Structure 1
Amino acid sequence: MKYGVPLGLLHPAAWKDVAVAADELGFESVWLPEHLVFATDLSLAVYPGTDKPGIKPTTPLFDAPAYLCHLAALTTRVRLGTAVHLFALRHPFASARAFATLDAVSGGRAICGVGAGWYRGEWDAAQIPFENRGARLDEAILLARRLWTEPAVSHRGRFYSFEEVAFDPKPVQAHLPILAGGESPAALRRAALLCDGWISMPHTLDSIRPQLDRLAALRDRRPFSITVHAYSLASPAEVPAWAALGVDRLIVRPWARSRDAVQALVAFARAHGLS
């Protein structure tokens, strides 16, 4: 089992120390979420399935691939991922360039986690239609694959059209992994058909099973990774049950407060035999 660390659940002042500790302790990956901008109108921010705003407009926001480039310079082994990047909220040239740069400066450690997003406010502010964000993301994923691998690319699509361009340097990884987040039918189809893996919302062993069943019905035989946010992971004895479900990466949160995170990672690494 691989273990990831969700930096977004920490105060930003702790990100550097926690990422360095994760690298030294043998954690496989660290992950950053992102938003581009928050509107001050909270009527646009009610999180799906709730009646409360899912954001605070004054929350500090950082460009996730850019910040991960900073962490790449401080680490040597740990992989650097987004959970998730709103890839289609920019032109595919910008998002593809960001991850190619991250992969280059990290020596091939980038993981491109993408999602269509739930928060309408930032799409409205960027003047990009919220209603077609999923279809726009699907086209952007296909474009990024081509930009990262083909010598020259031209495109005529529903959302993006351009004459032939070169795109260099290519990522260090021959196949930079793209993982899709989200649990809607469209998000699961995107993961299964267009991506290299899926990133879940927070789950327990019991709550993850229906999503994995739905995903399995859509998948083909291509290599595929399953990443689960398992913040309630209780002990190493629980891990084999996750693995039996086909999960190969758990994003864990063994701390209660940001100031205790490094110490909690040390204890977790010892308990789970990391090195």
Structure 2
Amino acid sequence: MRIGFSVPQFGPFADPGRAGALCTALEALGCHSLWVADRLLAPLTPPEGYPGGPMPARYGTHLDPLLALGVAAAATERVRLGSSTLNALWQPPLVLARALTTLDLISRGRLEVGLGLGWMREEYEAAAVPWQGRGARLEETLDVLEAVWRSGTVAHTGRLWTIPPSTVLPKPVQRPRPPLLLGGFTPFALERVGRRADGWLAASMPLPYFDGLWAVAREAAERAGRDPAALRRVFRVNAHVTTAEADPAETHQRGTVRQICDHLRTMCRADTDEVLVDLQLTTDSPEEFLDLAGRFTAELTGG
């Protein structure tokens, strides 16, 4: 099992200097990866669909995910650097490809490209991006990224975007491209993971729900002539850490450190599986963040 943590970027952690120092300290703990998330705004009227109840107020204070990842790249030397998830549709795909390529170069080939569609209609409206047709827009975005990252001349003609035959350099350090992971929790999203991605940006969840979704990805990979066993999984947990033991039905996201880790261990069944522990909603200071990160690392590694 690989262990990753969130890049500090929300609420009291939305400070580049503090984020850089914490990333250096998290790498020193021995984690495998660091991950950014993506929020544009926090509506004053609660949005529909936020998983797990009201949307946390601290999501209204945030650092840009790609710039925060640049801070993390400068503050570290070894860890992988990813996005879980970057909302792929809020900028033209050619612009997105340039930013991601630059991050792969800055980090010397440590980038994990994690993309998703998001869930909040208000953010799409604020970004002037259509809510309808998100899946088709993501498919063409992936087409453009692939075209830009391949060697040679770049060209694309699609329903939404056209790129004339052009030179687009430099290319990413990682060839043929950085690893591509996709988020989502619908059968359509998991079918796309199996057909197009290197893995799934999943979440800690009840096992029956997880098994049903993962079966969709595996079957889609087989239909596409791909090896399902090669697909990776990164299990995000927005940990709500308690001092007293929680109801066993809630331990996929809430409970003591040991309870949450026990559930994560039941989900991680392959050597390439990874957990992403986001501590920004359960801690308020760098000292508390690092202390809890150390406890999760010790519990998950047995050290």
Partner of residue 236, structure 2:
229
TM-score of the two chains, using structure 2 as the length reference? 0.79
Alignment match of 1:186 (pick from 173, 181, 188)? 188
1:82 offset after TM fit, Å? 0.7
TM-score of the two chains, using structure 1 as the length reference? 0.86
- Describe the SS at the equivalent of 2:267: helix
The residue type paired with residue 213 of structure 1 is A
Structure 1 residues 56 and 107: alpha-carbon distance in aligned structure 2, compared to 1, 3 A threshold: same
1:100 offset after TM fit, Å? 0.5
1:274 offset after TM fit, Å? 8.4
The residue type paired with residue 267 of structure 1 is R
Cα distance in 1 for partners of 2:118, 2:278 equals: 23
Partner of residue 46, structure 1:
48
1:209 offset after TM fit, Å? 2.3
- Describe the SS at the equivalent of 1:89: coil
Bigger mean CA offset, 254-263 vs 147-156: 254-263
Structure 2 residues not aligned, in runs of 5+ = 240-252
1:234 offset after TM fit, Å? 2.7
Within-5 A mapping of 1:118-197 = 118-174=119-175, 175-197=177-199
Bigger mean CA offset, 98-107 vs 256-265: 256-265
- Describe the SS at the equivalent of 1:4: strand
Q: Does 1:208 align with 2:234?
A: no
Alignment match of 2:34 (pick from 30, 33, 45)? 30
Cα distance in 2 for partners of 1:218, 1:33 equals: 27
Cα distance in 1 for partners of 2:212, 2:42 equals: 34
Cα distance in 2 for partners of 1:261, 1:273 equals: 18
Structure 1 residues 127 and 19: alpha-carbon distance in aligned structure 2, compared to 1, 3 A threshold: same
The residue type paired with residue 77 of structure 1 is R
Q: Deviations over 1:122-175 (max 9, x none)?
A: 222222211012211111112101201232111110111121122111111113
Give the total of aligned pairs: 272
The residue type paired with residue 105 of structure 1 is I
Structure 1 residues not aligned, in runs of 5+ = none
Q: What is the aligned-residue RMSD (CA, Å)?
A: 2.9
Partner of residue 245, structure 2:
none
Identity of aligned residues (%): 26
Cα distance in 1 for partners of 2:90, 2:157 equals: 19
